[in-house]
Amino acid sequence: MPNGGSDCCGTCWFNTANEGDPDYRKGPPPDEVRCTIRSLEIETPFWTYCANHPHHNPARVEVPIGPVYVTDGYPYTRRVLEQSPDTEEIRAGLLDLLGHMEEVPNAEYPTPTELDEEVIKQLMEFREKRAAPTLRTIIHFDPLAAPDGDNPFGQNRVTTVALAVEALVCIEGDSALDEVETALRCGLSRDAVTPDVSGGILSRIRQWWLRKQANPDDQAEDPMAAIRYHAVLGLKHCGSDRARILLREATNDPHPEVAMLARRVLTTKEADT
Ligand code: SF4
């Protein structure tokens, strides 16, 4: 199996060569391999991926979930090969999946192409306004919620919450700045003196963070940085003075990548005015 991940078309039940089985075909491959749900010819099945693969989608949802990705070089990163089509049926399917997301994640095969995250990213790409109320719910998930039972891959909801923040701001712009402001404080010790306007999430994060920050200089101990990072990404879509103030504050973020991103976004905004 190639090292790009076993969640590839080669092992997908939507690959015509596999005739509906979640395994790869033994014997010579057919002349043409196609994805049955995307009307797409797959040239390199063992290096091509999407979130509809059975590793991510055991319910066998047939609505295309996000783009198709390919890995075509080392290191084994995934780049978009084919964007998702955009139809009302697909949007409705993604909204349905979004509405069924639960705070406790599944113990899913860990790759850059996980189902819930691809749903949120695609709705963000579509600027789908109907997603906003559910994104607000997801923002209040406990980022550290873990799958029941064994959690061999150490999964939690940090990335899901981070993407939900970015998607909400991308869709609503300055109307989502309250949520951005809350997200920009996730995991920071100054939360301890800042009013919690988050409906409780900050209190939960704060409790955890204050336990963990015995070594505040250890960046590896800053899991909430991903939420702050995506909140800064979301600020690209805001044009108000308040957004600029938040960006300036974020340039002082203790995580160097968050601070650097905030400086880049701020510089771009100032060059545009
Ligand atoms: S594109 Fe996705 S759904 Fe289609 S065969 Fe490949 S992994 Fe399966």
State the amino acid at position 177 in one-letter form: L
- Render pLDDT for 116-137 as a digit per residue (tens, 0 to 9): 999 999 999 999 999 999 999 9
Task: Give the residue, out of 8, 9, 36, with the most ligand 1 atoms within 8 A of its beta carbon, to mutate for a pocket test.
Answer: 9
Residue 132 contacts residue 172 (beta carbons within 8 Å): yes
Measured between its terminal Cα atoms, the distance across the chain in Å is 51
* pLDDT exceeds 50 at position 195: no
* pLDDT exceeds 70 at position 1: no
Looking up tokens 């319910």 gives: 59
| Mean pLDDT in residue range 179-203 | 67
Provide the pairing of β-strand 40-41 with 68-70: unpaired
pLDDT-based confidence at residue 5 (cuts at 50, 70, 90)? confident
**pLDDT of amino acid 30:** 75
Average pLDDT of the residues of the chain: 87
**pLDDT of amino acid 24:** 66
| Mean pLDDT in residue range 10-21 | 89
**pLDDT of amino acid 190:** 55
Residue nearest to atom 6 of ligand 1 (CA): 9
* pLDDT exceeds 50 at position 196: no
**pLDDT of amino acid 220:** 56
- Render pLDDT for 26-44 as a digit per residue (tens, 0 to 9): 666 677 899 999 999 999 9
The tokens describing 125, both together, are: 């790409």
* pLDDT exceeds 60 at position 161: yes
pLDDT-based confidence at residue 189 (cuts at 50, 70, 90)? confident
Ligand 1 binding site (Cβ under 6 Å of any ligand atom): 9, 12, 14-15, 35, 37-38, 42, 48-50, 52-53, 68
Ligand 1: centre distance to CA 60 (Å): 11
- Render pLDDT for 198-254 as a digit per residue (tens, 0 to 9): 544 444 444 444 333 333 333 357 889 999 999 999 999 999 999 999 999 999 999
Residue nearest to atom 4 of ligand 1 (CA): 35
Which residue ranges form the domains of the chain, and what is each CATH number? 1-82 (no CATH), 86-272 (1.25.10)
**pLDDT of amino acid 254:** 93
Torsion of CA 225, 226, 232, 236, to 10 degrees: 170
Atom of ligand 1 nearest to the CA of 49: 7
- The model's pTM: 0.87
DSSP summary character for residue 8 = B
**pLDDT of amino acid 271:** 87
The dihedral built from the CA positions of residue 198, 204, 210 and 212, taken in this order, carries a sign that is: negative
- Render pLDDT for 47-58 as a digit per residue (tens, 0 to 9): 999 999 999 999
Q: What percentage of residues in the chain have a pLDDT greater than 70?
A: 85
Element (H, E) at 151: none
Ligand 1: centre distance to CA 73 (Å): 20
**pLDDT of amino acid 242:** 97
